[in-house]
């Protein structure tokens, strides 16, 4: 079958559900960090032990990306999205219920297992339900919901945890997931016109993807581009701002949240501009350079003003939003029948980058005697390398993605 881009209500319902799924995924992903001290005390864990427990999410999430892409390309999203939401909910509930760190690890594993379908399913629905000219802006909108969930949800959940404790908040999150599960079971359907695999080997699309040097190149530059969000926004930023800029914990968290506000706006804006002009590469190059300048200003000018730092981090996130275009760049030039595998592979490399850089920078901090500035030089370096790599990407649009049927 051929793909006929849809604008009927079913398309928007599918888009709303997978976007809500990605928001749920992001909330479940960051929740343990919002109650790190309470959870570590509950399970009698050291900081290292807590970090290991929390990271179980990513150790299953990252390798699952390959499987997710393959099965979406072969079977479509419905039969996986619906149970994945329930699996995530069960994992969050188990984590809150148990007092045994081993069972908590199982809960975190289940959460990561279900979450592994969230982002890729969102972009898969955008690609198969909507016209190619809307891919960048709608995929940016999916990402924006996740970023806003981080920016807003972190503050709201932190306050709730302080008021009622972390376990009731986790149970409420799991309950919200169950509600989403029932909504998806009732209203989420596959696009009957979407192209599926040809019935050959299930791993055939993966062989195509991993043998394509252009996809590898784009995946790596995308991982380097996303590195400040995962490293500074997701782990070391708060510690750097309190240690070297003298900000209080609350002010530091406020400043860090501006990265995600910026990403939410930037991913949609970059997608809209890109779809309007029909090009990706030079938007990526220019935005990477501007992001490098913004992060460098926030970290190295040495300001103690939360306003200045927040503004610079907002611009870092704003110009970081164009990272979403790397998914569009990677899929263009490939048949739609393997889109899920392409997107999942690029996402996997991005997550693998976070798994590498988070502990690596921690080691740099230790080796430099706690000098965050020295260790975080990796941020502008990675962004400059990403910009240089993007310059050499050839923009290639496959006929499957230029053909629109309205």
Pick from 253, 251, 248: which is nearest to 235 by CA? 253
Domain end point (choices 163, 188, 213):
188
The Cα 96–Cα 112 span in angstroms is 15
Is there a contact between 395 and 277 (Cβ–Cβ < 8 Å)? no
Give this prediction's pTM.
0.79
- The whole-number pLDDT of residue 48 equals 64
Q: Are residues 292 and 255 part of one domain? A: yes
State the total domains in the chain. 2
Contact 321, 140 (CB under 8 A): yes
- 241 occurs within a structural domain: yes
The span from the CA of 369 to the CA of 360, in Å, is: 14
Does 331 lie in the same domain as 274? Answer: yes
Same domain, 183 and 216: no
Q: Which of 127, 157, 188 is the last residue of a domain?
A: 188
Residue 79: inside a domain? yes
**How far apart, in Å, are the Cα atoms of 154 and each of 148, 293, 346, 348?**
9, 26, 27, 24
Residue 274 domain boundaries = 201-393
- Scanning the structure block, which residue is given the tokens 């649009």? 397
Phi, psi of 244 (to 5 degrees): -110, -10
Q: What angle do CA 99, 104, 109 make, to 5 degrees?
A: 170
DSSP letter at 192 equals: T
Answer yes or no: are the C-beta atoms of 335 and 400 closer than 8 Å: yes
53 CA to centre of own chain: 20
Q: Is 109 in the same domain as 247?
A: no
Read off the tokens for 153: 């949800």
Q: Is residue 406 part of a domain?
A: no
Distance CA 388, CA 377 (A): 17
State the DSSP string of 286-337. HHHHHHHHHHHHHHHS----HHHHHHHHHHHHHHHGGGGHHHHHHHTTS-GG
Residue-level pLDDT at 114: 95
Amino acid 196: pLDDT: 54
Residue 403 is predicted with a pLDDT of 45
Q: Is 277 exposed, middle or buried (0-12, 13-18, 19+ CB in 10 A)?
A: exposed
Q: Are residues 327 and 224 in the same domain?
A: yes
Q: Are residues 294 and 348 in the same domain?
A: yes
Q: Is residue 196 part of a domain?
A: no
In this structure, the dihedral spanned by the alpha carbons of residues 171, 173, 179 and 185, taken in order and rounded to 10 degrees, is -110
366 lies in the same domain as 340: yes
**For residues 308-332, b (16+ Cβ closer than 10 Å) or e, as one string?**
ebbbbbbbbbbbbbbbbbbbbbbbb
Rounded distance between C-alpha atoms, residue 300 and residue 296, angstroms: 6
Q: Which of 154, 188, 222 finishes a domain?
A: 188
User: What is the distance between the terminal CA atoms of the chain, rounded to a whole angstrom?
Assistant: 16
Q: What pLDDT, on the 0 to 100 scale, is given for residue 157?
A: 81
Is 405 inside any structural domain?
no
Position 403 in a domain: no
Residues 129 and 1 in one domain: yes
Q: Does residue 27 sit within a domain?
A: yes
Distance (Å, whole) CA 185 – CA 85: 10
- For residue 316, the model assigns a pLDDT of 96
| 226 shares a domain with 150 | no
**For residue 316, which of 393, 238, 226, 395 has the smallest C-alpha distance?**
226
DSSP 338: G
Q: Are residues 55 and 6 in the same domain?
A: yes
CB 338 within 8 A of CB 196: no
User: What span, in angstroms and rounded, lies between the C-alpha atoms of 311 and 203?
Assistant: 46
272, 140 in Cβ contact below 8 A? yes
| Per-residue confidence (pLDDT) for residue 315, from 0 to 100 | 97
The whole-number pLDDT of residue 82 equals 94
Considering the domain boundaries, does residue 133 fall inside one? yes
Ordered mean pLDDT values, 10 residues apiece, the chain (406 residues): 55 89 87 80 79 82 87 86 96 95 94 92 85 81 81 77 90 96 90 59 79 92 92 80 84 86 90 83 94 95 90 96 90 79 89 81 80 88 96 69 42
pLDDT given for residue 199 in this prediction: 56
Residues 6+ apart with CB under 8 A from 217: 389, 392, 393
Per-residue model confidence (pLDDT) at position 237? 82
The answer on 166 and 19 residing in a single domain is yes
Please indicate, yes or no, whether residues 91 and 183 belong to a single structural domain of this protein: yes
CATH number of the structural domain spanning residue 332:
1.20.1250.20
């Amino acid at each position: 079958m051929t793909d006929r881009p849809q604008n009927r209500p079913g398309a928007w319902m599918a888009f709303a559900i997978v976007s809500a799924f990605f928001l749920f995924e992001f909330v479940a992903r960051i929740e343990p960090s919002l109650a790190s001290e309470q959870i570590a005390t509950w399970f009698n864990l050291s900081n290292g032990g807590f970090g290991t427990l929390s990271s179980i999410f990513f150790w299953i999430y990252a390798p699952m990306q390959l499987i997710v892409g393959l099965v979406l390309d072969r079977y479509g999203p419905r039969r996986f999205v619906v149970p994945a939401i329930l699996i995530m909910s069960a994992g969050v509930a188990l984590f809150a219920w148990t007092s045994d760190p081993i069972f908590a690890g199982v809960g975190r594993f289940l959460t990561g297992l279900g979450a592994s379908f969230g982002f890729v399913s969102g972009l898969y629905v955008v690609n198969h339900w909507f016209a190619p000219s809307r891919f960048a802006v709608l995929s940016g909108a999916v990402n924006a919901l996740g970023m806003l969930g981080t920016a807003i949800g972190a503050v709201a959940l932190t306050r709730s945890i302080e008021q009622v404790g972390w376990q009731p908040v986790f149970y409420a999150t799991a309950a919200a997931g169950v509600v989403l599960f029932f909504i998806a079971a009732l209203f989420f359907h596959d696009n009957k016109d979407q192209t599926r695999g040809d019935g050959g080997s299930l791993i055939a699309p993966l062989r195509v993807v991993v043998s394509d040097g252009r996809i590898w190149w784009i995946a790596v530059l995308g991982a380097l581009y996303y590195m400040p969000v995962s490293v500074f926004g997701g782990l070391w930023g708060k510690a750097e701002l309190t240690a070297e800029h003298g900000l209080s914990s609350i002010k530091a968290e406020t400043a860090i949240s501006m990265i995600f506000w910026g990403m939410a706006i930037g991913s949609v804006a970059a997608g809209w501009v890109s779809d309007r002009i029909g090009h990706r590469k030079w938007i990526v190059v220019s935005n990477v350079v501007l992001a490098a300048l913004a992060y460098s200003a926030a970290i190295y000018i040495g300001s103690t003003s939360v306003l200045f730092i927040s503004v610079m981090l907002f611009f870092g996130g704003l110009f970081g939003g164009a990272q979403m275009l790397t998914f569009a760049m990677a899929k263009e030039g490939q048949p739609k029948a393997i889109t899920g595998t392409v997107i999942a592979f690029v996402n996997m490399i991005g997550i693998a980058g976070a798994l590498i850089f988070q502990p690596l920078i921690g080691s740099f901090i230790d080796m430099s005697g706690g000098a965050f500035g020295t260790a975080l030089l990796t941020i502008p370096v990675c962004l400059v390398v990403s910009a240089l790599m993007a310059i050499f990407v050839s923009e290639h649009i496959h006929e499957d993605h230029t053909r629109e049927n309205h």
